[in-house]
Every structure is written in C-alpha cells, then in structure tokens.
Amino acid sequence: MGALNHKRAIITGGASGIGAAAARLFAVEGAALALLDRDVESGRGVADEIVRDGGQAEFIACDVTRAADCAAAVSRALGSLGGLDIVMHSAGIIVRRSVVDLDEADWDRVLDVNVKSVYLVSKLTIPVLRAGGGGSIITIGSGWGLVGGPQAASYCASKGAVVLLTKAMAIDCGPDGIRVNCLCPGDTDTPLLHGEARQLGVPEESFLAASARRPLGRIGTPREIAQAALFLASDASSYVTGTTLLVDGGGLAGG
C-alpha cells in the first residue's frame, strides 16, 4: 500500500477494462487520478467509486483521437492534479477483420484510437513530466503487437506500432528522467475480449475457452494487468525504460 503516494496520474481509457482496473489500484496505492474516456456514464462511475472509497479521482470526457479534445482534457487534468508523474495510455479498440475484409474507415479508427492517441496525449504531457523532473509513461501493446494473429490486421499493425513508438519515446525522453514502457497483455477478461466473439460470429463460451489455451490455463483478469502497470508506474521500476513487459499467462512462451 502506498507505492504511488503523492503521485499524480492521467489514464486514458479509464472507464472500463484494464484502464479502470489500473485506476482503482493506483488510487488504493495513493495516486490522484484524472480519467479520460468517451464513455461518460462508465467513466464517472469509476471516478465516483474511487472517491467513495477514499481516493482522489476526476473523470474528464475526451475523444483521445482528437487533438483539441486531448488539449482541453489534459489542461483540465493538470489544473486539478497540480502536476503530473504518470501517464497510462489504456484507450484501445479491436476490429477482427483481414486486410481484404477491412473497411478503410475501420482501419483509420483502430489506428487513431490505438496509436494516434498515444502520440497526441504524449505530445501534451511529456513537456509537463520534463518540467517536473521526470515520470513514467505506460503504453498498452498486446501479444499481437509482438506476433501476428488471424483476422486482426489493423489491431496487429496498431499494437506493433505502439511497441516501437514506446521504444522511440524512451530513447528521446530518457535524458529528462522520463521512463517509457509498453505493457503487452494477453487475452484478458474485458469487454473488448467478449466483443471479439461477437465480431467473429462465434459462441462466446467457445471463444473464451480457446483464449484460455495457454500454460496457465486461463485468461487474465484486468487487475492482474493493472498489477504489472503498477510496477511500471512506481519507483520499483526506476531503472526500467524502453522495455516490453509481456503479461499473457505464458501464451507466447512457445512462440
């Protein structure tokens, strides 16, 4: 308890899934939070829950694919937090289509949410972290950012881009004391995973059973991914930057 005492964090995609789990855990560990998301109802629910439990959190509605939205949200967050130490990029979507079957609009949407948002929010927050003497940036990649997967062309492309964008930012930001690392989850019990079954038109039960075929024999929980994010956000990882942390129950161990 208290690994993030007096730390201030912005989390995109904080309304659900891994982002919401990280928000809850970071708050318990002492961080003050600004949660950015398009889902107003769920985002406010997460922030209100954190506050009821004695934490500090504010929800800020934001479309992280739009520069003006990001600028307004980050400005408001900084006004509330009074500074910044941690940025976690959790906003993400997936479209299960091959290149041949993928519409251009869906390609653009996946790349915008998964990659462009990292660029937009990082561009705004890196100068703040630099002025404050450093900090931690956590991006969310995927096992499919390291190896390819079927019927997920835009998703694999976007997550591969996030992995290398993370490394590039780590090189550029290192001299300013800013650590930048990529957390790559395997299949995790989030609305995103359940939505994949519907996109593919397969029974959810069989889809989740197939997703659990890995050495640990199950899919991950959002809290387990959040625990790894906590390590990257905290001083426990003070000499870790430019790395890719794979948290997938051993799914890629034989790949």
pLDDT tens for residues 83-133?
A: 999 999 999 999 999 999 999 999 999 999 999 999 999 999 999 999 999
What's this model's pTM, rounded to 2 decimal places?
A: 0.97
Which runs of E-coded beta strand occur in 143-203? 178-185
pLDDT digits (tens, 9 = 90+) for 165-222: 999 999 999 999 999 999 999 999 999 999 999 999 999 999 999 999 999 999 999 9
- Residue 1 in this model has a pLDDT that exceeds 80: no
pLDDT of residue 254: 83
Q: List C-alpha distances in Å: 78 to 25, 125, 169.
A: 21, 9, 21
Q: Give the angle subtended at the CA of 4 by the CAs of 20 and 26, to the nearest 5°.
A: 10
pLDDT, one tens digit per residue, over 12-32 is 999 999 999 999 999 999 999
Three-class SS of residue 56? Answer: strand
Supply the pLDDT for residue 197. 93
β-bridge pairing 32-37 and 56-61: parallel
Query: CA-CA distance, 42 to 13, in Å (whole number)?
Result: 10
- 29: CB partners within 8 A, 6+ apart: 1, 2, 3, 4, 5, 230, 234
Residue 5 pLDDT > 90: yes
- Is 155 among the catalytic positions? yes
In the set 155, 157, 169, 186, the catalytic residue is: 155
Percent of the chain's residues with pLDDT above 70:
99
Alpha carbon 191 to chain centroid, angstroms: 14
CATH node for 8-243: 3.40.50.720
